[in-house]
Amino acid sequence: MAGLSNRVNYLPALRKKSLKIQFKGGYVMAVINPLSKEDAAASVHGLYDAFAQKFGHMPNIFAVMAYRPEVLSSFVPFFQSLMAGGTLGNRDKELAYLATSMLNGCEY
């Protein structure tokens, strides 16, 4: 376990109350709490507002990415381009990434 704590030390924003380690079936899984708009960097407040306007709230997957504002700011346009084009509808795309998460043992 000492090695695990060394691996999360590079995430100072997550070390305190936001990161929980769960043990399940012999696996270690980090659980990271979503970041509220008030605690997020000002550079991503516009994204919080845009998601809240579209969905009524900030989806947790994006609120977790807000710990790294540059990642969130880069990922959102990529995600939007994936969801906007192609031959599959949004429902099928969401089903594909949900199934992939389940196959990989992601409980989220």
Distance separating alpha carbons of residues 57 and 49, to the nearest angstrom: 8
91 and 45 housed in the same domain: yes
**Average pLDDT over every residue of 75-91:** 88
63 and 85 housed in the same domain: yes
Range of the domain at 14: 1-33
pLDDT over 80 at 8, yes or no? no
Q: What are phi and psi of 23, to 5 degrees?
A: -110, 125
2 and 18 housed in the same domain: yes
38 and 69 housed in the same domain: yes
51 and 103 housed in the same domain: yes
pTM over 0.85: no
How many domains, in total, are found in the chain? 2
pLDDT over 70 at 37, yes or no? yes
Would you list the DSSP string of 27-73? EEEEEEPPPPTTTS-GGGHHHHHHHHHHHSS--HHHHHHTTSHHHHH
41 and 28 housed in the same domain: no
